[in-house]
Amino acid sequence: MTGIVSMVVFLLGMCLAVQLVASLHGPLDYSYTIKTKFPEVILRILIWGGLCVVLAIPFGDRYRSSFLWGLAVYAVFYLLFYPATKLMLKRNLKLLDRE
């Protein structure tokens, strides 16, 4: 049963990491109107970051590592997958230009 709970907590960490990364894209998304959206963007970053911290505390030593691994794995996955996707799209455009 502990393994199942650890997997669920790991997936919860990954889901929250997705939301945190999305909130960190807020300044880029609203760059055209950042003067009016600045408080909202900062609030979203603080809410998702704070939620990650607040949820990590009560898990205790038993499940906190699973939660933090979920956050870290998604962050590494995102950082590696984004440039790989860009390279693949460039390669596909070059192949289309050849035809």
Residue spans of the domains in the chain: they are: 2-98
In whole angstroms, give the CA distance from residue 99 to residue 96: 5
Task: Please state, as a whole number, how many other Cβ atoms lie within 10 Å of the Cβ of residue 8.
Answer: 14
pLDDT tens-digit readout, 73-98: 999 999 898 888 888 888 877 777 77
> If you ran DSSP here, which 8-state letter would residue 33 be given?
G
Question: What is the chain's mean pLDDT, rounded?
Answer: 89
- pLDDT > 70 fraction of the chain, expressed in percent and rounded: 99
Question: Is-contact 19 55, C-beta < 8 A?
Answer: no
At 95 the pLDDT is 75
Q: Is the pLDDT of residue 10 over 90?
A: yes
Q: Which pair of tokens denotes residue 21? A: 């990364």
Three-class SS of residue 57?
Answer: coil
Q: Residue 66's pLDDT band (boundaries 50, 70, 90)?
A: very high
Instruction: Give the dihedral of Cα atoms 84, 80, 10, 52; nearest 10 deg.
Output: -120
Q: Which pair of tokens denotes residue 13? A: 């960490």
Q: Is the pLDDT of residue 11 over 90?
A: yes
| Residue 77: closest CA among 5, 20, 14, 23 | 14
